[in-house]
Amino acid sequence: MFFRRFENNKANKSQQDEKQSALLSSNLNQNLQILRSLYEDCSDVVFRPFVIGGQVRAELIYMEGLSNVQEIDASVLIPLMKETQGDRRRFEEWLEETLPVSRVKGLRTFTDCIDHISIGNPVLLLEQESRGIALGLAQWEKRSVEEPTSESVVRGSREGFTESLGVNIALLRRRIRSPKLKTKSMKIGRYTQTEVMITYMEGIVDKTLVEEVMNRIQQIDIDGILDSAYIEEMIKDNPFSPFPQIMSTERPDTSVAGLLEGRVAILVDGSPFVLIAPVTLYSLLQASEDYYQHFILGSAIRWLRYLFVVLSLLLPSIYVAILSYHQEMVPTKLLISMAASRENVPFPALVEALIMEITFEALREAGVRLPKQVGAAVSIVGALVIGQAAIQAGLVSAPMVMVVALTGIASFTIPRYNFGASIRLLRFPMILFAGMLGLLGVMLGLLAIITHLCTLRSFGVPYLAPLAPMKGRDMKDVLVRAPWWMLNTRPHLTGEYNKYRQSPHQQPDPKHGGETE
């Protein structure tokens, strides 16, 4: 029974695919019969019959809610129904001279018709014409350009990507006003037919990188793409690594900065998150605001960020290791104070740390899922109340609460949420290693993470570049943020690249800059 049903479904699917791939005929009734069968039980698809100039039968097919009905009436139906030309002119001339629509396209197959109807472009079919006309009159509700909530800055652009692919491309075009910005479009998803746009800077990007990105995306065969995360998970080099190998951002300025460095940006219709590849570990730890303030302040904040990333990963495990196996490393007075606070705690340090970390992660997740009006209040008040109640009940000690709170604050300094989530995930095995082997377990876990990072690649680029392998020229934007007049060269990612991004000798010199002969 199952195999018979499978074969019937397969046969029905093949018949429907044959219908869609067939060419339009000159018989209008036959074309309409096929389209009506394809859109059976689709009450939002409108078939509007009318007559052009009282002579030629025509049919307009559009999707209600996705097409601009007012423009259809004003620019299509009224002009064509008032057409008084008696003789039959050539198709191209009629198309150009009659329709007051800026974007029109001829269609040959039913697949072309379905593609345009699905995105809101009305399709016009005529009697005795084996071609249709797609009219660029799509209009659907979309979110306005707003400040991205996940990447807020004190100084910098307040614009963020939206779910509209056209708006996102326009945000990039407004910042890069050069025809060197190239875009390549493809559709992924058997049913969703989601449009995916690959953008890059010609003359800066390595062509093999663009080809590799396109090949990986074209190999995706899935029912639907609902967000750019689907593509990110299917094209990464190491799918089992917890570390992100592709950067996702809501900021157009971050995307433009990546394009000008020779990277590729992947835009997905319906998703406000743009993918940037390739990336390195250090690019995930850089915030766009680092480049909008003084380079000394930017470098100091970057070093502070590196420090807190290490604390976010290692602080709970080091605390558990020292308290369980290496008490001699703690000063005597501090050890006595910690022992007094742990006097009534029934659990060992390992269990205590796991309880607090899991509770903190649960509070964080609850704050994210709750409505904005109560989410922040619940997470903060919950942490205070639960932490204080746990100390008074003797379930955890006050130093452990401080360690977990400091660790949580340290994780908030990571600019990329997915990278911060990876650090939070690795914190738990590090705590287990510390509870079983002490500082030796911490070192073994750290060595395993570093070894994994050394083997990781992002579209062929070493994850720890330019530190491993060492590239001295690119170090000016890793450990410190060098001033802009020193950042003469782009990072060397893959293969051939456009080396220089600006002219040399850009350092300000007020003493000689204003002299004239």
pLDDT at 320: 94
Checking if the pLDDT of 381 tops 70, the result is no
Residue 471 has a pLDDT of 82
| More reliable by pLDDT, 9 or 256 | 256
- Report the DSSP pairing between strands 56-63 and 45-52: antiparallel
Cα–Cα distance, 364 to 296 (Å, whole number): 33
Residue 375 confidence (pLDDT): 61
- With beta carbons less than 8 A apart as the criterion, state whether 62 and 122 touch: yes
Query: 271 and 168 in contact (C-beta within 8 Å)?
Result: no
Q: Is 4 exposed, middle or buried (0-12, 13-18, 19+ CB in 10 A)?
A: exposed
* Length of the chain in terms of residues written: 517
Across residues 181-190, what is the average pLDDT?
A: 93
Contact 323, 400 (CB under 8 A): no
**β-pair partners for 48:** 60
pLDDT at 313 over 90: yes
d(CA 475, CA 377): 42
Residue 323 clears pLDDT 50, i.e. is over it: yes
With 60 as the cut, is the pLDDT of residue 98 above it? yes
Give 378 or 71, the one with higher predicted confidence.
71
Q: What is the mean pLDDT of residues 251-269?
A: 94
Cα gap 327→223, rounded to integer Å: 57
| pLDDT given at position 89 | 57
pLDDT value at residue 138: 87
The CA distances from residue 157 to 170, 254, 291, in Å, are 15, 10, 12
Lowest mean pLDDT among 142-151, 364-373, 453-462, 469-478: 364-373
pLDDT surpassing 50 at residue 3: no
Contact status, residue 142 vs residue 115, Cβ threshold 8 Å: no
Which of 76-80, 397-401, 472-476 is predicted with the least confidence, judged by mean pLDDT?
A: 472-476
Residue percentage of the chain with pLDDT more than 70:
89
Tokens read off for 388:
């204080």
* Residue 439 burial by Cβ neighbours in a 10 Å radius (0-12, 13-18, 19+): middle
Beta-carbon count within 10 A of 478 CB = 21
**Concatenated DSSP letters of 156-217:** S------S-HHHHHHHHHHH--STTEEEEEEEE-TTT-EEEEEEEETTTS-HHHHHHHHHHH
3-state secondary structure of 142: coil
Task: Supply the mean pLDDT for the chain.
Answer: 86
Is residue 1 scored above 50 in pLDDT? no
Which of 10-14, 224-228, 257-261, 400-404 is predicted least confidently?
10-14
> Which of 344, 343, 345, 353 lies closest to 322 in space, CA to CA?
353
Q: Count Cβ atoms within 10 A of the Cβ of residue 67 and give its class: 0-12 exposed, 13-18 middle, 19 or more buried.
A: buried
Confidence of residue 378 (pLDDT cuts 50, 70, 90): low
> What was the pLDDT predicted at 141?
77
- pTM for the model stands at 0.86
189 vs 368, which has greater pLDDT? 189
Burial class of residue 480 in the structure, from the number of CB atoms within 10 Å of its CB (0-12 exposed, 13-18 middle, 19+ buried) = middle
Q: What pLDDT, on the 0 to 100 scale, is given for residue 484?
A: 87
Q: Rounded distance, CA 204 to CA 160, Å?
A: 25
Q: What is the mean pLDDT of residues 26-44?
A: 90
DSSP letters spanning 13-58: HHHHHHHHHSBPPS-HHHHHHHHHHHTTT-TTEEEEEEEETTTEEE
Identify the H or E element spanning 63: strand 56-63
Please, what is the Cα angle at 154 between 149 and 158, to 5 degrees? 50
Which of 262-271, 346-355, 382-391 shows the highest mean pLDDT? 262-271
Beta-carbon contacts of 336 under 8 Å, excluding residues fewer than 6 positions away, are none
Mean pLDDT to the nearest integer, 13-19: 55
Residue type for 431, please?
I
pLDDT digits (tens, 9 = 90+) for 403-433: 988 998 898 889 998 999 999 999 999 999 9
Mean pLDDT throughout 464-492?
85
207-247 per-position pLDDT tens digit: 999 999 999 999 999 999 999 999 999 999 999 999 999 99
